[in-house]
Amino acid sequence: MPLVDPGPIIAQAHAQGRAIVGANVSTVQMVRGVIRAAESTKRPVLIQFNRSGVELIGGVDVAALVVTSIAADSAAEVALHLDHAHTLDELSQAINAGFKSIMVDGSTLPYEQNTTMTQSAKGLVAWSGLPLEAELGHVAGNEAGVTIGEASWTDPDQAGRFVQATNVDWLAVAVGNTHGGPAIGGLHIDRLRAIHEAVDVSLVLHGASGLTDEELASAVELGVAKINVGTSLHQAAASGIGTWLQESPRDLRGALLAAEEAVFEEASSLLSSSWAFGN
């Protein structure tokens, strides 16, 4: 089916105390694997590209064409999201290419500069009606395509002011989660609860690959309506390729298909989680 608007889906998930998987991908095979999983589990999914993923697949126009084409041959509800953009130009390119939601990431900037940047991004997307995600506090770790600095946890009081000042649609929070690996010390549930009480928008949790299913379920109960996963999907793809090439070192086509199958299995597991929104 055609790409869908993720705004109503995430709003519905939020209202029902569930969450949508935001699957960060980099290759055609990863796109195919995730969309196949969404169709198999009958769960909606956001296909997401950060800067590294966009570069690897060949640019935002290619990313949009690939996802649109594969989704058109599927019964799954698929949206296309730009993750961790740092400039208004990146946002404009994604909007023009056909992305259905976008994220501006000023999380490494001082609060005032992050607010100003997000306000500018909101003004940019106003004509398109696309949902805008921003990040307050900073999720650290190690992930290609993401600007990593020292972790700074989201302040609940600042979160309330930030959402009011920017009118952002979704707020990504830093509450112990980590890009690219396991969270150190687990999620800060009390902090997340305070943020949930301070804002009236859907929350987003980045760095979910390192969190337990129980932690994710707890986060969803506290207003998280989009859960981003990239590392575990990329690790699955790499493992599929590596295992295949050990047996057939010259069979690249087979290795790529093995990567797709491994991503399908990992994405199917995520989308089948008790907290995942869908039928």
How far is the C-alpha of 254 from the C-alpha of 50, rounded, in Å?
27
Tell me, yes or no, if 83 is annotated catalytic: yes
Of 241, 242, 231, residue with least CA distance to 270: 231
Of 51, 147, 52, 55, residue with least CA distance to 91: 51
How far is the C-alpha of 120 from the C-alpha of 111, rounded, in Å?
14
> Which of the residues 5, 73, 83, 157 is marked catalytic?
83
How far is the C-alpha of 1 from the C-alpha of 76, rounded, in Å?
7
Catalytic residues: 83
